[in-house]
Amino acid sequence: MQQNLKQIQETRLIITQKLQQAIDLLQLSNLELVQKIEQEMVTNPVLEEVIDIPKSISLEMAEEKIDGTGESKKDDDALLVWKDHLEDDNNYKFNNYEPQENVNYEDFTTRKQSLNDHLLWQLSMTKLPYHEIKIAELIIGNLNQNGYFVGEVDKMAQSLNISSGEVEKVLKLVQKFDPIGVAARDLKECLLIQAKEMYPMDRNLHRIIENHFEELGEKNFANISKILGISIIDAQKYFEIIKSLEPKPGRQYSSDTVKYIIPDIIIEKEDDKFIVIINDDYLPQIRINQYYKKILQKSSSGDVKKYLKEKMDSAAWLLNSISQRKNTMYKVVTQIVEWQKDFFDKGILFLKPLALKDIASVVEMNESTISRITTNKYAQTPMGIFELKYFFIRGMQNDYGEDISTARIKEKIKTIIENEDGKKPASDNKIAEMMKIEGLNIARRTIAKYREEMNIHSSAKRKKLKRNELTKV
Domain contains 439: yes
Quote the pLDDT of residue 76: 40
- Choose the final residue of a domain: 335, 359, 384: 384
pLDDT digits (tens, 9 = 90+) for 66-98: 333 333 333 344 343 433 433 333 333 333 444
Quote the pLDDT of residue 402: 63
- Confidence band (pLDDT; 50, 70, 90) for 105? very low
Domain contains 115: no
Based on the fold, state whether residues 380 and 279 are members of the same structural domain: yes
Based on the fold, state whether residues 154 and 64 are members of the same structural domain: no
The Cα–Cα gap between 444 and 448 comes to 6
- Output the pTM of the full model: 0.54
Q: With a cut of 90, say whether residue 337 has pLDDT above it.
A: yes
Based on the fold, state whether residues 159 and 204 are members of the same structural domain: yes
Domain contains 110: no
Based on the fold, state whether residues 346 and 233 are members of the same structural domain: no
**In angstroms, what CA-CA distances link 224 with 69, 200, 236, 247, 331?**
44, 20, 10, 22, 42
Domain contains 118: no
Main-chain dihedrals φ then ψ at residue 395, nearest 5 degrees = -165, -165
CATH of the domain at 410: 1.10.10.60
Structural domain boundaries enclosing 413: 395-472
The Cα–Cα gap between 311 and 44 comes to 6
Based on the fold, state whether residues 273 and 349 are members of the same structural domain: yes
pLDDT digits (tens, 9 = 90+) for 408-429: 788 888 888 888 887 888 888 8
Q: Is 108 exposed, middle or buried (0-12, 13-18, 19+ CB in 10 A)?
A: middle
User: What is the total count of domains within the chain?
Assistant: 3
- Choose the final residue of a domain: 322, 355, 384: 384
Domain contains 240: yes
Domain contains 7: no
Based on the fold, state whether residues 441 and 414 are members of the same structural domain: yes
Based on the fold, state whether residues 311 and 274 are members of the same structural domain: yes
Based on the fold, state whether residues 271 and 194 are members of the same structural domain: no
Based on the fold, state whether residues 284 and 205 are members of the same structural domain: no
- Choose the final residue of a domain: 384, 409, 427: 384
CA pseudo-torsion sign 48, 51, 53, 55: positive
The alpha carbon of 131 is separated from its chain's Cα centroid by a whole number of angstroms, namely 27
